[in-house]
Amino acid sequence: MSAAEEMKNEQSRQFERGTANTVLHIDDVHKSFAGLHALSDVDLDVREGETHAIIGPNGAGKSTLLNVCVGRLKPDRGAVVFDGEVLTGKSPHEINQLGVARVFQTPEVFPELTVLENVMVPALSKRDGHFRLNPFKNFFREKAIREEAESVLENVGLQAQLSGLASTMSRGDKRRLELAMGLIQHPRLLLLDEPTAGMARHDTNATIDLLKKIKEGGMTKVIIEHDMHVVFSLADRISVLAGGRIIAQGTPEEIKVDPRVKEAYLGEEQV
Amino acid sequence: MEKNVALKDTTLFFGFAAVILLLPILLEPIGANYPDLLQKIAIFGIFAIGFNILFGLTGYLSFGHAAFIGIGSYMTLWSFKLLTMNVVPAIMFSVILAGVFAYIIGFVSLRRSGIYFSILTLAFAQMCYSLAYSVLTPITNGETGLQTRAIRKSSETSLLDGDIRIIDQAFGVQELGVPTTNFFGMAMSGYTGFYFCAVLLIVCFFIAQRITRSNFGIMLKAIKSNQNRLNYTGIHTRPYLITAFVISGMYAGLAGSLMAATDPIAGAERMQWTASGEVVLMTILGGVGTLVGPVLGAGIIKYAEQKVSSWNEGILESFFSFLPETLQHFMANLGVLFVGEGWHTTLGLLFMIIVIFLPGGIMEGIRRIGAKFSRKKPEADTNAAAPQPAE
Q: At what angle do helices B35-58 and B273-286 cross, to 10 degrees?
A: 80
B245 part of a folded domain: yes
Q: How would you label B121-136 residue by residue, b for 16+ Cβ within 10 Å and e otherwise? A: bbbbbbebbebbeeee
pLDDT value for A266: 56
Yes or no, beta carbons of A109 and B232 under 8 Å apart: no
Mean pLDDT of chain A: 87
Task: Give the residue from B165, B184, B186, B183 showing the smallest Cα distance to B175.
Answer: B165
Q: How is chain B split among helix, strand and coil, in percent rounded to 5?
A: 70, 5, 25
Q: What is the DSSP string of A127-138?
A: HH-S----TTSB
Residue A117 contacts B where some CB pair is shorter than 8 Å: yes
pLDDT value for B377: 52
- State the fold for domain A20-266: Rossmann fold (3.40.50)
Percent of chain A with pLDDT over 90: 58
pLDDT value for A172: 85
Yes or no, beta carbons of B215 and A133 under 8 Å apart: no
SS3 category, B10 = helix
B337 part of a folded domain: no
Q: Which of A70, A101, A139 lies closest to B213 in CB terms?
A: A139
Mean pLDDT of chain B: 90
Residue A137, C-beta contacts closer than 8 angstroms, at least 6 positions apart: B214, B215, B216
Yes or no, beta carbons of B2 and A111 under 8 Å apart: no
Residue A267 contacts B where some CB pair is shorter than 8 Å: no
Q: How would you label A100-128 residue by residue, b for 16+ Cβ within 10 Å and e otherwise? A: bbbbbbebbbbbbbbbbbbbbbbbbbbeb
Q: Do the strands B182-183 and B186-187 form a parallel or antiparallel pair, or are they unpaired?
A: antiparallel
Q: Higher model confidence: residue A165 or residue A12?
A: A165
How many CB atoms within 10 Å of residue B204? 22
In the predicted structure, residue A136 carries a pLDDT above the cut 60: yes
Strand partners, B187: B182
Strand partners, A57: none
B130 part of a folded domain: yes
ipTM: 0.86
H or E stretch covering A27: strand A22-33
In the predicted structure, residue A173 carries a pLDDT above the cut 50: yes
pLDDT value for B284: 94
pLDDT value for A11: 47
SS3 of B133-187 = HCCCHHHHCHHHCEECCCECCCCCCCCCCCECCHHHHHCCCCCCCCCCCEECCEE
Range ranked top by mean pLDDT from A117-121, A214-218, B301-305, B387-391: A117-121
Residue B380 contacts A where some CB pair is shorter than 8 Å: yes
pLDDT value for A222: 95
In the predicted structure, residue A61 carries a pLDDT above the cut 70: yes
Nearest CA in chain B to A145: B215
Mean pLDDT of A211-225: 86
Confidence of residue B382 (pLDDT cuts 50, 70, 90): very low
Residue B269, C-beta contacts closer than 8 angstroms, at least 6 positions apart: B275
Cβ-Cβ contacts under 8 Å, B224 against chain A:
112
CATH of the domain at B43: 1.10.3470
Q: How far is B300 from chain A (nearest CA, A)?
A: 28
The number of domains in chain B is 1
The rounded distance, in Å, linking the Cα atoms of B245 and B65 is: 10
B366 part of a folded domain: yes
pLDDT value for B344: 86
The rounded distance, in Å, linking the Cα atoms of A145 and A165 is: 19
Yes or no, beta carbons of B218 and A165 under 8 Å apart: no
CB pairs under 8 A between A and B: 121
Cβ-Cβ contacts under 8 Å, A109 against chain B:
226, 229
The rounded distance, in Å, linking the Cα atoms of B325 and B114 is: 53
Q: B192: domain range?
A: 2-306+358-385
The least confident of A63-72, A213-222, B372-381 is B372-381
CB B234 within 8 A of CB A125: yes
Burial class of residue B12 (count of CB atoms within 10 Å of its CB; 0-12, 13-18, 19+)? middle
Confidence of residue A121 (pLDDT cuts 50, 70, 90): very high
Q: Higher model confidence: residue B2 or residue B356?
A: B356
SS3 category, A207 = helix
Cβ-Cβ contacts under 8 Å, B240 against chain A:
131
Mean pLDDT of A112-119: 95
Confidence of residue A265 (pLDDT cuts 50, 70, 90): low
Mean pLDDT of A91-98: 96
Yes or no, beta carbons of A131 and B234 under 8 Å apart: no
Q: What is the pLDDT of residues A6-52, one digit of tens each?
A: 654 554 454 444 444 899 999 999 999 988 899 999 999 999 999 99
The rounded distance, in Å, linking the Cα atoms of A181 and A171 is: 15
pLDDT value for A18: 43
pLDDT value for A57: 86
Q: What is the pLDDT of residues B46-95, one digit of tens each?
A: 999 999 999 999 999 999 999 999 999 999 999 999 999 999 999 999 99
- Among residues 131-150 of chain A, which lie with CB inside 8 Å of chain B? 131-143
The rounded distance, in Å, linking the Cα atoms of B381 and B194 is: 34
Q: Which of B211, B232, B383 lies closest to A70 in CB terms?
A: B232
pLDDT value for B5: 80
Mean pLDDT of B273-298: 93
Residue A183 contacts B where some CB pair is shorter than 8 Å: no
Residue B218 contacts A where some CB pair is shorter than 8 Å: yes
Q: How far is B93 from chain A (nearest CA, A)?
A: 22
Domain parsing of chain A, residue ranges? 20-266
CB A235 within 8 A of CB A211: no
Phi, psi of A127 (to 5 degrees): -80, -45
pLDDT value for A85: 92
CB B249 within 8 A of CB B101: yes
pLDDT value for A260: 85
Mean pLDDT of B308-324: 87
Cβ-Cβ contacts under 8 Å, B2 against chain A:
140-141, 143
B222 part of a folded domain: yes
The rounded distance, in Å, linking the Cα atoms of B1 and B186 is: 44
pLDDT value for B325: 86
Q: What is the pLDDT of residues A248-259, one digit of tens each?
A: 999 999 998 888
